[in-house]
Amino acid sequence: MNQVLKEAQLPAEVTLQLVQGDLTEESVDAIVNAANAHLQHGAGVAGAIVRRGGSKIQAESDAWVRAYGPVPHAQPAYTGAGKLPCRYVIHAVGPIWGEGEEDKKLHVAVYGALELADQLNLTSVAFPAISTGIFGFPKARASRIILETIRSYFSRQAESKLRLVRIILIDSVTLSAFSRVWDTLWPEKVS
């Protein structure tokens, strides 16, 4: 069962949560997939999403790439969610560490996923730690970019319909990296 470990209030009446658990168990409007540009979902988060959600997700992804070509960092694709407990899967393409301009590419991937969630009129979305697995992006660096991007998005998007954004992390190493950055951005108030 997924467990909320930290929570912060963002502008535009949005709740941001840091959660330990399994992204594929999230009952939100959409989960974000850490995808590659060709939407081939074989390993990592993408593989887990297709294993749990079914082959329909891969079939829709293949159709998307045939229709629109490879998915750019700033403009995620989306598909149905198959057997997952959410409505959509937003396929955000994060950078591979070492390809150049990784920080910028991660920022636009996260920002683009939030924009797409708003275009779909969603109220809740859950993110993994994009690019920190097989793409090799350093966890501490990625956690800062992901959290700061989410915070800055809502400071600029007062009209957003999103009310809940969750960061879902399954492993303790990634969770520790995000938790340390979280505490610098939203220090706990002691009364």
Give the pLDDT score at 146. 98
Are 32 and 53 within 8 A, CB to CB? no
Give the pLDDT score at 16. 98
Give the pLDDT score at 158. 86
Structural domain contains residue 191: no
Buried b (16+ CB within 10 A) or exposed e, 57-93: bbebbeebbeeeeebebbebbbbebbebebbbbbbbb
Are 151 and 167 within 8 A, CB to CB? no
Structural domain contains residue 113: yes
Give the pLDDT score at 47. 94
Give the pLDDT score at 102. 97
Structural domain contains residue 159: yes
3-state secondary structure of 15: strand
What is the residue range of 59's domain?
3-185
Structural domain contains residue 190: no
Q: How many residues are listed for the chain in this entry?
A: 191
The total number of structural domains in the chain stands at 1
Residues 6+ apart with CB under 8 A from 148: 185
**pLDDT tens for the chain, residues 1 to 191:** 799 999 999 988 999 999 999 999 999 999 999 999 999 999 889 999 999 999 999 999 999 999 999 999 999 999 999 999 999 999 999 999 999 999 999 999 999 999 999 999 999 999 999 999 999 999 999 999 999 999 999 999 989 999 999 999 999 999 999 999 999 999 876 54
Give the pLDDT score at 51. 96
Query: Which of 29, 32, 172 has its CA nearest to residue 112?
Result: 32
| Residue tagged 């990592």 (tokens) | 44
Structural domain contains residue 34: yes
Beta strands 164-169 and 3-10 are: unpaired
Q: What is the pTM of this model?
A: 0.96
Give the pLDDT score at 189. 60
Structural domain contains residue 36: yes
Structural domain contains residue 110: yes
DSSP 16-63: EEEEES-GGG--SSEEEEEE-TT----SHHHHHHHHHH-HHHHHHHHH
- 40: domain CATH number is 3.40.220.10
Give the pLDDT score at 190. 53
